[in-house]
Chains A and B, each alone.
Chain A
Amino acid sequence: MSEISVTVPARPGAGGGFRRSVLDALNAFVPVDQIAAEERAASLAKRSLKKDSKVWGLKLAISMIDLTTLEGKDTPGKVWALCQKAIRPDPSDRSIPSVAAVCVYPSMVPHVRRALEGSGVKTASVATGFPSGQSPLEVRIEEARRAVAMGADEIDMVINRGALLAGDYERVFDEIAEVKEASSPAHLKVILETGELGSYDQVRKASMIAMYAGADFIKTSTGKIGVGATLPVTLVMLEAIRDFHHLTGVRIGMKPAGGISNARLALSYLVVLYETLGGEWMTPDLFRLGASSVVNDILMQIRKEATGAYQSPDYFTLD
């Protein structure tokens, strides 16, 4: 990877001088060795977290969660219940923080917004023809704009995977930049849908394009294709974030989503984060976990650490 000098004032919405930069970045494309990346992730997953460091990590994990429901059968009632869980994941334990955000389809945004009023928990909405992104660009942009107008603090958009795989990087870039502009001032999370990209090389490419085009976060997955986040793909994206930070001075957030099914795994994601980007990134402002089912497992682990007894799901609310 050769060093590119990029002058970054503030990132403008629609590409601008960054067009040149992203092309330079692709010229400086850094390949990723699959096996070595996976071995590194596997070795980090073997970190053994005990006692205080475990409880601290678990509580931090709770505070980073984007509690999500993305179903056709979502109702205001269901969303309301989820929001209650988001604000106080474990009402019996004052030390448990709220989660970071509640993430829903645009039609549910007003309900979420109301339910979360004053809680500090953010309202997030998927948009842009989620999950496939196969709608006309104008429609995708308009969807993002409307979601923000309805009260979304954060937009989770999907990239045009077809264009990426076809090598039309410029199009991928321009679309992200346009959504960024349309959804301002909301925070933009760009979903790469890594399970469809086929290799870590493509993941790295997509990460770089998304970051240069205006992403505030890059996110692994929609959770809708069977393949969600993995530790190695998260590692590869974090390394891209690290390089982007070095090149531009800008800190981009990371959101693994999908498949983070238990507390142990959630902690492993934090370990990968910590040992790749360090303590600075250990905040919900720069790291999110797209996971819902994991919350109760984390709460059970925290209570186990406090009481010394293994816990039953019967004592934790399903919302």
Chain B
Amino acid sequence: MTRLSVRKTYKLYIGGEFPRTESGRFYPVYAAKGKELLANACRGSRKDLRNAVVAARKAFAGWSGRTAYNRGQILYRIAEVSESRAPELEQELRRAGSSKGDARREVELSIERWVHFAGWADKFPQILGSVNPVAGPYYNFTVPEPTGVVGIFAPETPALSGLVDRLAPAIVGGNTVVAVPSESRPLAAITLAEVFETSDVPGGVINLISGLKSELVSWLASHMDVNAIDLGGVEDDALRRAAQEAAAENVKRVVGAAGPAGDDGRPSLYAIRDFLEMKTVWHPMGV
């Protein structure tokens, strides 16, 4: 006797909840090979983005105010929960067209990345900060601080580890994120959101809006309450250029301006630094 499976509805992830798009629109997601329909993904709208930015801004003070130790623990928790849900994540990648081996390796890689960046939480300020020997009776130090609300366009492939590579360094630094996952393969990302939801990631720290990048990029790039934007996952040169122009309206920090090829994909301190501001504090030394 065959059992009728229960299909998953793939929704957005905003403020720690899984709403459908307010627009009610969807777009079909197919397996890479063939025409098999995998799901009707939410075709997120500018209003969904707007809600996500509001959620991200609301979460920013709390998340950036947590201790580095605590942020590190939460990233490590993401790794733990990812590990236990590895089969499910692999399954998502395989359905999207990855081979069994590739899917396993990508999931493993993304778990490794969470662990790697979890460990950075209480170390990068020591490497990137400084005490500055100014010529006078002043104590002067520089500390990295998060840029704020970061918009991320994840690469089309690898759909899972590519997203993790951009997401992990942004949130470990204390930023909150509105991310648009791979347009063609969004399902793994949405399942990853379920990992976040069960990993003590506070609502609003990570928000995922699936949809058409061409439709969303200008809204996120022009949003006045987004402080930085990662365009590495926007493949179209003209779109990226338009986004850069729109980003100038509030002097956003733009990373990935060179597009997908510009990202060397190595996990590193420098990826964390992309979304940090350096704050320098002076204080006199007297009695």
Q: Does B associate with A?
A: yes
Binding site for B on A (CB under 8 A): 33-36, 38, 198-199
Chain B count of residues within 8 A CB distance of the other chain: 6
The 4 closest A-B pairs by CB, nearest first: A34-B286, A35-B284, A35-B286, A199-B287
Question: With the chains together, A38 CA to B287 CA distance in Å?
Answer: 12
A165 to chain B, nearest CB (A): 14
14 contacts between A and B (CB under 8 A): A33-B284, A33-B286, A34-B284, A34-B286, A34-B287, A35-B137, A35-B138, A35-B284, A35-B285, A35-B286, A36-B284, A38-B286, A198-B287, A199-B287
Main secondary structure of the interface of B (DSSP, over half): loop
For A38, the chain B residues whose CB sits under 8 A away are 286
C-alpha gap A198/B286 in the complex (Å): 11
Interfacial residues, chain B to chain A (CB-CB below 8 A): 137-138, 284-287
Note all chain A residues with C-beta closer than 8 A to B287. Answer: 34, 198-199
- What residue in chain A is nearest B138 (Cβ atoms)? A35
The CB with the most chain A CB atoms within 10 A, among B137, B138, B284, B285, is that of B284
A33 to B286, CA, bound (A): 7
Closest to B136 in A: A35
Neighbouring B residues of A34 by C-beta, 8 Å: 284, 286-287
Contacts of B285 in A (CB 8 A): 35
Closest A-chain residue to B137, C-beta based?
Answer: A35
Known contacts A33-B286, A35-B286; 12 additional CB pairs below 8 A are A33-B284, A34-B284, A34-B286, A34-B287, A35-B137, A35-B138, A35-B284, A35-B285, A36-B284, A38-B286, A198-B287, A199-B287
Residues of A within 8 A of B138 (CB): 35
Set of chain A residues within 8 Å of B286, measured between Cβ atoms: 33-35, 38
- Which residues of B sit under 8 angstroms from A199, Cβ to Cβ? 287
State the CA gap A125–B241 with chains docked (Å).
Answer: 84
Give Cα A34 to B138, complex, Å: 11
Looking at A33, A34, A35, A199, which has the most chain B CB atoms within 10 Å of its CB? A35
Q: What residues of B have a CB within 8 angstroms of the CB of A33 in the complex?
A: 284, 286
